[in-house]
């Protein structure tokens, strides 16, 4: 049975997805972790992490997947960035052994030195980048030479039909991502198309099609 939400409720979901805040933000964070865990697992696998890699996740949410990524290989050094203070606070609860380093940031400048990370990944955040061309150059800046980023997103053709996708979202397809990579010193070296059935943020079952793009710093 389809859930009927008011326009105000739908716009609240959109706002919370872009930057979760408060009690409702915590609830949205749990739902995002549940619905995105498949995308996150596949993205981590696609990264091909090795022992002692420095890996950055952009937009970690409540980071319910922290143990998963730390268990991939020995000595992984995990760093997470968030624009949401609520999600940053929730992620701290997952960091019981102090193995992760979480930072709040402004969504534009990555607060790390040049050539710092071997691996970077981000899942379902690109829609909210205020300056995609500038931010992809920031990602390239903090990647080591020959470093890799996996960028995972649901395609424009799927996203545009979701009721909560409004003005806060910028949508992308494969051609858009290719053009974006060309703005930075990044080369696409692989991609994988996936699909999964999930419960959408409005409570309905949907078949989500998504893409993982792997780029290497040249």
Alpha carbon 131 to chain centroid, angstroms: 16
Residue where the block lists tokens 């268990």: 71
Dump the DSSP string for 88-128.
HHHHHHH-TTS-EEEEE--SSS--S-TT-EEEEEEES-GGG
Delimit the domains of the chain by residue range: 7-217
pLDDT tens digits along 18-60:
999 999 999 999 999 999 999 999 999 999 999 999 999 999 9
Q: Where does 7-217 sit in CATH, by number?
A: 3.40.50.150
Please report the sign of the dihedral spanned by the C-alpha atoms of residue 181, residue 77, residue 107, residue 171: positive
pLDDT tens digits along 144-196:
999 999 999 999 999 998 889 999 999 999 999 999 999 999 999 999 999 99
């Amino acid at each position: 049975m389809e859930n009927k939400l008011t326009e105000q409720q739908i716009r609240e979901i959109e706002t919370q997805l872009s930057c979760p805040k408060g009690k409702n933000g915590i609830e949205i964070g749990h739902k995002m972790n549940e619905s995105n865990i498949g995308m996150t697992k596949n993205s981590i696998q696609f990264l091909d992490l090795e022992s002692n890699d420095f890996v950055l996740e952009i937009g970690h949410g409540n980071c319910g997947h922290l143990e998963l990524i730390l268990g991939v290989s020995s000595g992984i050094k995990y760093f997470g960035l968030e624009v949401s203070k609520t999600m940053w606070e929730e992620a701290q609860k997952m960091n019981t052994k102090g193995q992760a380093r979480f930072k709040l940031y402004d969504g534009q400048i990555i607060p790390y030195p040049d050539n710092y990370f071997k691996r970077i990944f981000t899942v379902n955040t690109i829609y909210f980048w205020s300056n995609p061309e500038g931010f992809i150059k920031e990602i390239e800046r903090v990647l080591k030479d020959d470093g890799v980023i996996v960028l995972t997103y649901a395609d424009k053709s799927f996203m545009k039909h979701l009721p909560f996708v409004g003005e806060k979202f910028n949508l992308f397809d494969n051609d858009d991502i290719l053009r974006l990579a060309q703005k930075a010193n990044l080369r696409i070296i692989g991609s994988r198309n996936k699909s999964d059935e999930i419960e959408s943020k409005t409570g309905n079952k949907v078949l989500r099609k998504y893409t993982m793009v792997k780029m290497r710093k040249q």
